[in-house]
Amino acid sequence: MKIKLIASCLGLILLFFLSGCMFPQEKRAENQVPYENQLASVQQAVDQYKQDNSVLPIKTKDEDTPIYQKYVIDFKQLLPRYMQEPPGNSFENGGFYQYVIINPEEEAEVKVIDLRIMREIQELQREVNNYIKENEYAPIEEPIGPGVYSIDMEKLDYHRDAKVESPYNETYLPLIINKHGNVLIDYAMDLNIALRENDHNFKKGDDIREILTDHSPIVPVFSVPYTIDDNGEPSFKKE
């Protein structure tokens, strides 16, 4: 009888343990994609907040913050009146996405930053900063566009590929550097795919990055403006 009782208790403990392990795993899987309903709930909260307060619920950023990283949503301003809690996939709730606003003067559309690309950029940026500190100039290789350059990896002695996984397609995007020593992502491949697969009326001189946000909830962070060349293909735009 005691043996059966002990076995039953052990079985319950094991079941409880496995259940506890499974939930975080399911939570992590849930956090890997920006679900439409989560975006829609944040959009509704932002719209209502703007209607009630005539301002957007965003964190204060420096004026020179890149456009797609500038208008980060401050969920503290939305809780609890407009939302009960941040979305499960948000950074604030343990997820992979930081919610931002694009076109703040117009639609104030809610999008997300995929934070999983940050690690590789931060690691390479540290190496670049150390190099600049020691040599007083950036480890640039050759110009690839106005104010942007390929990175001289031999000078850095960096033994990893300077690339990150694309948030848009099953490919990897090269990392580049600007004249200030800031590590950036070259989205030319993603833009080329988007231009081929979607109708558009861009002309030379337009910033074509919006074709990515028009067809995806993810914004192209750490990017520079792109336009199209005479052949209708992506090229760096002079800022």
What's the one-letter identity of residue 197? E
- Write the pLDDT tens digit of every residue in 33-84: 557 899 999 999 999 999 999 999 999 999 889 999 999 999 999 999 999 9
Please tell me the pTM assigned to this model: 0.82
Identify whether 23 is part of a domain: no
Mean pLDDT throughout 90-105?
Answer: 95
**Chosen domain end from 115, 144, 172:** 115
Domain count of the fold of the chain: 2
Q: Could you tell me the CA-to-CA distances from 172 to 32, 49, 166, 216, 217 in Å, in that order?
A: 18, 38, 5, 17, 19
Nearest to 138 by CA among 147, 146, 148, 128: 128
Among residues 92, 115, 138, the one where a domain terminates is 115
Domain of residue 179, residue span: 117-236
Show which of 67, 92, 115 is a domain's final residue. Answer: 115
Answer yes or no: are the C-beta atoms of 35 and 95 closer than 8 Å: no
With a cut of 80, say whether residue 30 has pLDDT above it.
no
d(CA 101, CA 31): 19
- pLDDT-derived band of residue 160, with 50, 70 and 90 as boundaries? confident
